[in-house]
Amino acid sequence: MKLTSETIRELAISAGIDRVGIVRAESLPLEEERFREWLAKGFQASMAWMTREPEKRADPRILFPGCRSVIVAALNYYTPHEHDPGTQTGKISRYAWGDDYHDVFREKLKILVEKMTEISPDIQTKFCVDTTPFMDKAWAVRAGIGWLGKSTNVITTDLGSWVFLGAVLVDVELEYDDNIVADHCGSCTACIDACPTGAIAEPYVVDASKCISYATIELRDEEIPQSIASNLEGWIYGCDICQDVCPWNRFEKPTLESRFEPREQETSLDLDAIAVLEHEDYVVRFRKSAIKRAKLSGLKRNAKALATNNHRQ
């Protein structure tokens, strides 16, 4: 059997991956220019790691010498549950309800690579899931997975924006897709209008320093800036507002991956419980969860900010 693009798609689906697009590995000069402009405005906030080697992010052949093709994968993570409406809880972003998607997605890509290697033993690969310096959104658009929405989320026509993105870089030529999806945002500004902190600086551009997700996950300061802390709207970890209001998410479909179901049936965290949580219990509670990214100190800080807001109300 020959390793073809069609075979790869079939193998990906059998590995539990929802969408696949395959394109030629090349430089993305326009995307690199836009990324550098974004960095120049300081929109990366304290995420200094994003400033390193932007040229590598824009060219997978630098990231993985010998790379000739990019296999872009999308994984649906939507589960049909709601947040606890109580004021004594903090809402968790939907992507972190279940097991850490890095682990789940890497497992699926590893299975895909193993199946590809069975057909073509000499193939060289590298897979990327979020932590690699790789422009996953730009490549998802290039590969026809979806379009980049004004919220900067990749939006698909059949799953909405509730998808994780990953890729496999390979050193062989394949048959390439040319089905780029048109931008269907049109005149809609729902995501921009709904953001309580004005983090969407302009269509298709997010200022991380104003973003609730950044403040509750990536920011390591002892206190959340007051301009964000007073507008958390109940979020303790991440934020889904721009996705919740997106009209295209009416096409959301429940994922077939059970590991994305809410752990312990929790879509929110009890603020008082987080306030007194000990490190040993934190390690057990959030083992293999994306929530560990915020660290215990971050969760306590976020819970305190929410409790303060509730007290003022």
Distance from chain centroid for Cα 151:
12
The one-letter code for the residue type at 77 is Y
Report in angstroms the alpha-carbon separations of 23 from 28, 56, 139, 276. Answer: 12, 17, 8, 50
Contact partners, residue 284, CB within 8 Å, separation at least 6? none
Contact between residue 178 and residue 22 where contact means Cβ atoms under 8 Å apart? no
* Phi-psi sector, 233: left (phi>0), alpha (psi -120 to 50), beta: left
Q: How far is Cα 237 from Cα 232, in angstroms, rounded to an integer? A: 10
Give how far the C-alpha of residue 161 lies from the chain's centroid of Cα atoms, to the nearest Å: 10
Q: Helices 101-119 and 5-14: crossing angle, nearest 10°?
A: 140
Report the phi/psi class of residue 274: left, alpha or beta, with left for phi > 0 and alpha for psi in -120 to 50.
alpha
Catalytic positions? 130
- Using alpha carbons, select from 27, 24, 26, 32 the residue that is nearest to residue 53: 32
State both tokens at 295.
């660290």
Q: What contacts 118, CB < 8 A, 6 or more positions away? A: none
Give the whole-angstrom CA distance, residue 309 versus residue 204. 30
Contact (Cβ atoms closer than 8 angstroms) between residue 175 and residue 4: yes
Say how many residues make up the chain.
313
